[in-house]
């Protein structure tokens, strides 16, 4: 059986990725430090769900712990590495930048050192649409210049992309970096808009709507994102064979390294998103409108043409169904807990 190491395995996306890999026949070794950036009980619940499945083990430790990742790679010799662990959140990076430096940059370095010594068939590394920074030309294309990040969070993720490219070039490590666009769905993070809005609306409390609601996001349903990742696993970058194979490819000319968007390719107005939550909860939101927050951007929108060309991927879940699925999960989870 093939083995995969998944960092951030008890996180929102990590949970869904691990579950899918196990169902697809992988032995999965998860790594998660279970930090308290948001409710640890939610992470514990995700981990319990995974531990009920065969072929899953987990190490609860920080990826930046010196030597941890190289020991895991030496022991398990993974065929696949999916690196999802990161300190997330734009606004928290203003309050606690050290956490982002440690997890996002030093943690990624530890993983790349391990991969250098025990190379997997494919490294897949999570980045973010925030890496596009101040770019105003949309939809975002992978090969546009992205040098002006708007938050320290985004800066650490873009730095990790650059570090991964250097390792890919120096040690011939096949690497796909995927930039996520506002992922949502069941088991989602409490610090994200869908969770916060749903919780407040269900408790008859007001929601804070930034930039007076004049925001657009390319909301990506989590199961669609996981489907894209699974398709990408088999699309191992080869800069010699693949160069000029795909239109507007982001493939490096000097390394088996590619950056690729995973989004819905359809930006939604924040106010329309709130309406979907109101419909799913059958309640009306009490809104408090506020100015744009520091480090945030008014709009994100993925050009997914490269992903579609390489994998034939198409998103399947519209926003109405996706929001309903989350609200249904939220009600069931908190009734039990």
The CATH number linked to 62 is 3.40.50.720
Whether residue 210 lies inside any domain: the answer is no
Of residues 270 and 187, which shows the higher confidence score? 187
Of residues 255 and 91, which shows the higher confidence score? 255
159-181: average pLDDT = 97
Q: Is the pLDDT score of 212 beyond 90?
A: no
Q: What is the pLDDT of residue 171?
A: 98
Q: What is the pLDDT of residue 126?
A: 97
Residue 295 pLDDT class (50, 70, 90 cuts)? low
pLDDT single digits (tens) 79-88: 999 999 999 8
Helix (H) or strand (E) holding 6: strand 3-7
Whether residue 133 lies inside any domain: the answer is yes
Q: What is the pLDDT of residue 258?
A: 98
Kindly state the tokens that stand for 88: 């997330």
153 is catalytic: yes
Q: Which residues pair with 140 in a beta bridge?
A: 302
Counting residues of the chain whose pLDDT is more than 70, the rounded percentage is 99
Unique residue bearing structure tokens 């990408």: 232
Q: Which residues pair with 180 in a beta bridge?
A: 128, 262
Q: Identify the three-state secondary structure at position 143.
A: coil
Whether residue 174 lies inside any domain: the answer is yes
Whether residue 326 lies inside any domain: the answer is no
Whether residue 295 lies inside any domain: the answer is no
Cα pseudo-dihedral 105, 155, 310, 83, rounded to 10: 20
Residue 175 to residue 111: CA distance in whole angstroms: 12
Kindly state the tokens that stand for 54: 């065969």
Kindly state the tokens that stand for 173: 């490590």
71-78: average pLDDT = 98
Q: What is the pLDDT of residue 337?
A: 65
Q: What is the pLDDT of residue 90?
A: 77
Q: Is the pLDDT score of 174 beyond 80?
A: yes
**Which domain, by its residues, includes 125?**
3-184+220-264+301-317
pTM of the full structure? 0.94
Q: Is 191 exposed, middle or buried (0-12, 13-18, 19+ CB in 10 A)?
A: middle
160-184: average pLDDT = 97
Q: What is the pLDDT of residue 73?
A: 98
Whether residue 29 lies inside any domain: the answer is yes
Let me know: does 226 contact 17? Beta carbons within 8 Å.
yes
Whether residue 248 lies inside any domain: the answer is yes
Whether residue 138 lies inside any domain: the answer is yes
Structurally, the chain folds into a number of domains equal to 1
The active-site residue, picked from 153, 167, 184, 257, is 153
Of the candidates 30, 36, 130, 128, the one whose C-alpha atom is nearest the C-alpha of residue 80 is 30
Q: What is the pLDDT of residue 88?
A: 84
100-109: average pLDDT = 96
């Amino acid at each position: 059986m093939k083995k995969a190491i998944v960092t951030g395995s008890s996180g929102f996306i990590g949970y869904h990725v691990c579950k899918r890999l196990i169902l697809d026949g992988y032995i999965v070794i998860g790594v998660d430090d279970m930090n308290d950036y948001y409710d640890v009980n939610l992470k514990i619940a995700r981990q319990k769900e995974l531990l009920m499945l065969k072929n899953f083990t987990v190490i609860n430790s920080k990826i930046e712990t010196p030597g941890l990742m190289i020991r895991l790679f030496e022991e398990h010799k993974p065929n696949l590495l999916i690196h999802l662990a990161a300190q997330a959140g734009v606004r928290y990076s203003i309050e606690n930048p050290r956490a982002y430096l440690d997890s996002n940059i030093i943690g990624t370095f530890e993983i790349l050192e391990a991969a250098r010594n025990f190379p997997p068939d494919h490294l897949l590394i999570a980045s973010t649409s925030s890496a596009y920074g101040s770019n105003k030309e949309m939809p975002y294309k992978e090969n546009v210049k992205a040098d002006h990040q708007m938050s320290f969070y985004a800066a650490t993720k873009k730095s990790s992309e650059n570090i991964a490219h250097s390792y890919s070039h120096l040690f011939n490590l096949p690497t796909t970096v995927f930039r996520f666009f506002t992922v949502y769905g069941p088991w989602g993070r409490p610090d994200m808009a869908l969770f916060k809005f749903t919780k407040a609306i269900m408790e008859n409390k007001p929601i804070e709507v930034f930039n007076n609601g004049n925001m657009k996001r390319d909301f990506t349903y989590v199961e669609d994102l996981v489907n894209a990742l699974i398709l990408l696993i088999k699309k191992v970058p080869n800069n010699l064979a693949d160069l000029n194979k795909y239109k507007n490819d982001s493939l490096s000319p000097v390394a088996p390294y590619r950056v690729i968007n995973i989004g819905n390719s359809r930006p939604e107005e924040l106010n329309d998103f709130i309406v979907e939550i109101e419909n799913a909860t059958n309640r009306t939101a009490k809104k408090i409108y506020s100015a744009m927050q520091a480090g945030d951007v008014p709009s994100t929108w993925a050009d997914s043409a490269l992903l579609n060309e390489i994998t034939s991927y198409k998103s399947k879940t519209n926003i109405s169904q996706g929001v309903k699925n989350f609200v249904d999960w939220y009600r069931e989870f908190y009734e039990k807990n």
